[in-house]
Chains A and B, each alone.
Chain A
Amino acid sequence: MDEKITQRSVWEKISAKLSKRSLWMLHYCTGCGAIELPPTMTARFDMERFGINPMVTPRQADILLITGYLSVKTLKRVVLTYEQMQAPKYVVGFGSCTINGGMYWNSYSTMKSLDRYIPVETYIAGCMPRPEAIIASFNELINKIDRGEANSWKDYYNNYNFYKENQEHTFEGPIETYNDIKADAALFNIK
């Protein structure tokens, strides 16, 4: 990890310092976690002071916040949305459900670990995590970006075969997102 940091040019360091101040969030709320977001955005906790704003479409967003459990059906949409986002992009898994299935551990239709399907930058543990926890995790993300460590989105291109295999296994076949991941990898000089 240290090696990576020293590789960064001055411009990249400045760029990280400025970019970390503006993170736009797309919240993917299928589970109960959505209820924790309004207090995070409004007067009590006000995440806009960190430059974090809710956004509507994946094209504009930097953070994909996934709250709660994901069924097989909704996971397809998450993968599509994730692929439509513009790099660099950061996934934040919110709540136990995204980490290990949480209280839906025994469910036949929900997936258990989000990072088998898309690369996750940070997790917020808890059921439910409080707004303080969300703010804390965003701060952690900001610090990671500043240190140049928030590079998990590159994993999707580096290890695409791994993610694709898991996706196809769960979805029982490929899904067509009209995104050419291999070509994109060349765009970022990844292999």
Chain B
Amino acid sequence: MSIVSNLLLLTLLGVLLNVIFYKSEVVQKYISLIIFAILTYLSIVMYPLVGSHFEIPFLIAGQHIGFTITYLNYYFALMITGITLLTVIFSLKFIKGKEGNTHYYTVLFLKTFGMLGVILSSDLLTFFVFWEIMSWSTFALMSTGGEPAHRSAFKYFVFAVTASMILMAGVILSYSLFGSFDFAVIHGKMASLSLPMTGFLLTIFITSFSIESAVFPVHSWLPDGYSNTFTTFTAYLSGISTRIGIYGIILFLFGVFGIQTVDKLGIIGKINFRYVFGIFAALTMIVPTFTALYQHDAKKLIAWHSVGQGGYMLIGLASGSALGIAGGMFHVLNHMAYVVLIVFAIASVEYRTGTTNLNKLGGLIKKMPVSYLALLFGIIGLAGLPPMNGFVSKWFIYRALILGGYPFLAIAAVIGTLGTILSVYKLIHNMFLGQLPERYNDVKEVGFSMQLPMWILMIVVLGLGVYPGLAMGLIAKIQVSLGLAAVPYALHGIKAASGQLDMLVVSAVFIGGIAVTWIIYLLGNRRKHVGQYNNYAGGNFLNKSVAYNFNYEFYAALEHVIDPYRKKIIERTERGIASVTDAVSEYIRRIYTGMINTYGIYVVTAFVVTIIILKELI
């Protein structure tokens, strides 16, 4: 059969084998390693099959349903299988002896199954079914790791169920409107739909996916949920799981509805659907990024950033230009590479020291240089500085916003970047720089199986930064396949009428600058390395019993400045959401009147409505 069924069945086989061998961690880990290696291989060789279609050999509600391979699917499938393979390699040692590791690989397989199903599905019904599997397994992933994880996973559950209900409403509504589940058929009939109805339907879908991709103000499930579980799961979840929501948005915005339809949805003047969407994206960039400044836990800090970086992808998509959409899509890949790299580095530190508390660590650069380097590459990517990959996609987005005439969305992106730079420096400083506490004197670098994924990702982060064309080729094809203008890319950057970007030249000049500086550096006398206690302390004597470090409340002054604004925005939003939920719940509560005749009316009404709907459907 086709490669799609192989992919999905193989993942299911993985679930099955892991359930069978749930007692033996060794068997589990090698099975998982082998199957994910095969999955990665399969998704790479899927390329020639792009455009092919695979149908389930029976009709459902008189409809053909099934899977299809497009460039967009291929792009996401590669990311999913690739990053899962790296996560599994990293986990081989990491999860050893941890509580809850017996079902570690099982839920990983189940989650991959759900995600692959979602991205490969060619119709709404399959999409929805796999979406549910994915949400459920996300819940399972999040709830591993003790009591706090259970609570925060439940928070996710509430959000995910809401998202699913909204999505189901959208599925039913579009079926009743178009009489088909198939994306291509719906896309074909879209022009015949009235504009308000289109807007309503699009809003339903986008809302559902926004909850899954943690757009402000429905992001609050993510930071806790991602940071309380295993650190490897944090990597996996922030790297790819959240981005399936972005996949949904790309698919529905450009694949199902089409950019021409979306552009018709004007509100007032220049303010159209995309612009409103962009405003939410801008808030998603700014608010979570500045919340990250306040975090004292490395995992939580990165979890907040993975909310914030979602805003860049969305704002790129919202810009509507070829460059911006390419930037948004490229940022999904870039974000995956660097955020997983960062979390792997954090996990390495956790593996060796047992903590991710930023106030307790410090000075580990002397003990764990490879993890430090990994974190450094990751944060340069996350902060969006050349020559790492994060810069390239952010450059696309800034440029698209500026030339598209959205100065305030562009400045939101810049503010987000500045907040990111601040908090990632805090992250690397508090973990790896500063004074090494005496208790970490015996810490060693992590082993090869944990270093390997980090090295691979470092190469990816740097490689995509210097040669963005490697990914841009595929992205340009995605854009063409979605009926958009393709971005004019070159191997090392972008071709444009004015202000090109050539990352190879930037990197080469940077290396040249470093070389020149090195010559100047060698002109001086030899440098001498000294220990951390040989340090200026105003004439005080330092030794291991003197804590001489600055990491607690790193940005106290800035926090002092932004606290009032933060209180206004966040607290008011959260109170607003709470009061809306309260009011809605109050209404729902009134349904239960406690009188038997009211319930009788409900039953009759429900019966009638069901019959009407069934009549419509069949």
Asked if A and B touch directly (CB within 8 angstroms), the answer is yes
Q: Please measure, in the bound complex, the distance between the C-alpha atom of A178 and the C-alpha atom of B532, giving whole angstroms.
A: 9
Given A184-B528, A187-B528, verify A179-B541 contact (CB < 8 Å): no
Which residue of B is nearest A74, CB measured? B539
The digit string for B292-328, where 1 denotes a CB below 8 A from any CB of A, is 0000000000000000000000000000000000000
Cβ-defined contact, A84 with B542, below 8 A: no
Main secondary structure of the interface of B (DSSP, over half): loop
Asked if B560 CB lies within 8 Å of chain A CBs, one says no
Which residue of B is nearest A59, CB measured? B536
Which residue of A is nearest B537, CB measured? A80
Cβ-defined contact, B539 with A177, below 8 A: no
Asked if B51 CB lies within 8 Å of chain A CBs, one says no
Cβ-defined contact, A57 with B536, below 8 A: yes
Which residue of A is nearest B543, CB measured? A176
Cβ-defined contact, A58 with B541, below 8 A: no
Q: Please measure, in the bound complex, the distance between the C-alpha atom of A57 and the C-alpha atom of B533, giving whole angstroms.
A: 15
Using a CB-CB cutoff of 8 Å, which residues 46-72 of chain A contact chain B? 57-59
Asked if A81 CB lies within 8 Å of chain B CBs, one says yes
Given A184-B528, A187-B526, verify A84-B536 contact (CB < 8 Å): yes
Kindly list chain B residues whose C-beta atoms are within 8 Å of the C-beta of A175.
541
Cβ-defined contact, A178 with B536, below 8 A: no
Kindly list chain A residues whose C-beta atoms are within 8 Å of the C-beta of B543.
176
Q: Please measure, in the bound complex, the distance between the C-alpha atom of A140 and the C-alpha atom of B540, giving whole angstroms.
A: 32
Asked if B1 CB lies within 8 Å of chain A CBs, one says no
Report the tally of A-B residue pairs with Cβ distances under 8 A.
Answer: 27
How many B residues touch the partner, as a band?
A: 10 to 19
Given A184-B528, A187-B526, A187-B528, verify A178-B539 contact (CB < 8 Å): no
Which residue of B is nearest A187, CB measured? B528
Asked if A8 CB lies within 8 Å of chain B CBs, one says no
Q: Please measure, in the bound complex, the distance between the C-alpha atom of A187 and the C-alpha atom of B526, giving whole angstroms.
A: 9
Using a CB-CB cutoff of 8 Å, which residues 512-534 of chain B contact chain A? 526, 528, 530-531, 533-534
Using a CB-CB cutoff of 8 Å, which residues 525-583 of chain B contact chain A? 526, 528, 530-531, 533-534, 536, 539-543
Cβ-defined contact, B528 with A81, below 8 A: no
Kindly list chain B residues whose C-beta atoms are within 8 Å of the C-beta of A187.
526, 528
- 16 extra interchain contacts, Cβ-Cβ under 8 A, other than A78-B539, A80-B539, A84-B534? A57-B536, A59-B536, A76-B541, A77-B539, A77-B540, A80-B541, A81-B539, A84-B536, A175-B541, A176-B543, A177-B534, A177-B541, A178-B531, A178-B534, A184-B528, A187-B528
Binding site for B on A (CB under 8 A): 57-59, 76-78, 80-81, 84, 175-179, 184, 187
Binding site for A on B (CB under 8 A): 526, 528, 530-531, 533-534, 536, 539-543
7 contacts between A and B (CB under 8 A): A78-B539, A80-B539, A81-B539, A176-B541, A178-B533, A184-B528, A187-B528
